[in-house]
Structure 1
Amino acid sequence: MLTYNIPNGKLNRGLSVVISYRILCPNATENEMNMARLIGWCMEMFQTSFLLIDDIMDQSITRRRQTCWYRLVSQ
């Protein structure tokens, strides 16, 4: 699910977490930045879960120019 859905998005939410953290904490250590990146990926997974639920509820056929993930696993 992760490799099918997340890479095709714009990744705006995850990147905004990292950029915001860098702005708010300009002297952050590499370990702290890695934690911000981890939280960014968690945000992307969280958003993707909402998109999957939306696709199922709407019975969507495609998202981001590919077959919806739930349709692949239900075949």
Structure 2
Amino acid sequence: MMRFLDSLSWTVLALMAVLLGLAPFVPEPHIWEKLKMLAAGELTRGIDIFDLAMHGAPFVLLALKGVRAVRNAQPRA
């Protein structure tokens, strides 16, 4: 998994997060709609959970790559 994460460029991940994560842009991004449903306790249908996972995956990968970059940049004692 880490080798796969290291092979992804920051640019590709950022583009995935913007284009796939936020699509469709109008009337509101899908990820935002699904997060509101999750907060309200309305995220119960399988398709909605799958939708949240697919639209959220680019953001999760971006966050994991960021955490890995910070950990690798810190000097080890």
Query: Where on the TM-score scale, by shorter chain, does this alignment land: which range?
Result: 0.3 to 0.5
TM-score, length basis structure 1: 0.37
